[in-house]
């Protein structure tokens, strides 16, 4: 998915009453990168008067570990930047950190 497609899907969903709690975005996407898409998403939510704590958590994913990428992502509005490769156990820990995992016992 391109950054433009992600932006359109999230804003369209919002306009239809669907509220995402988490968005994972890659720094390198076609048409629009994750940094620009994050900035535009944050701007969209601000125009809708949605408080930052009520907006989706945005996690940027990058293969570049240079500190400048982390700075740019945070400035755009990303809550967290993680580097590739991503392992399931690390993703699971992130979801738990943000309260987005609800485990139910098997019956």
CB 14 within 8 A of CB 48: yes
Q: Look up the pTM and report it.
A: 0.88
Give yes or no for a cis peptide into 19 (omega within 30° of 0): no
The per-residue pLDDT for range 40-93, each reduced to its tens digit, is 999 999 999 999 999 999 999 999 878 888 999 999 999 999 999 988 888 888
The per-residue pLDDT for range 1-51, each reduced to its tens digit, is 899 999 999 999 999 999 999 999 999 998 899 999 999 999 999 999 999
Task: Give the C-alpha separation, 92 to 95, whole Å.
Answer: 5
């Amino acid at each position: 998915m391109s950054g433009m497609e992600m932006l359109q899907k999230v804003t369209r969903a919002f306009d239809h009453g669907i509220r995402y709690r988490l968005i994972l975005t890659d720094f390198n996407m076609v048409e629009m990168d994750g940094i620009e898409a994050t900035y535009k998403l944050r701007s969209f939510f601000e125009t809708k008067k949605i408080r930052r704590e009520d907006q989706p958590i945005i996690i940027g994913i990058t293969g570049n570990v240079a500190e400048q990428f982390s700075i740019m992502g945070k400035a755009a509005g990303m809550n967290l930047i993680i580097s590739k490769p991503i392992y399931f156990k690390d993703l699971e820990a992130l979801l738990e950190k943000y309260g987005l995992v609800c485990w139910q016992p098997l019956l």
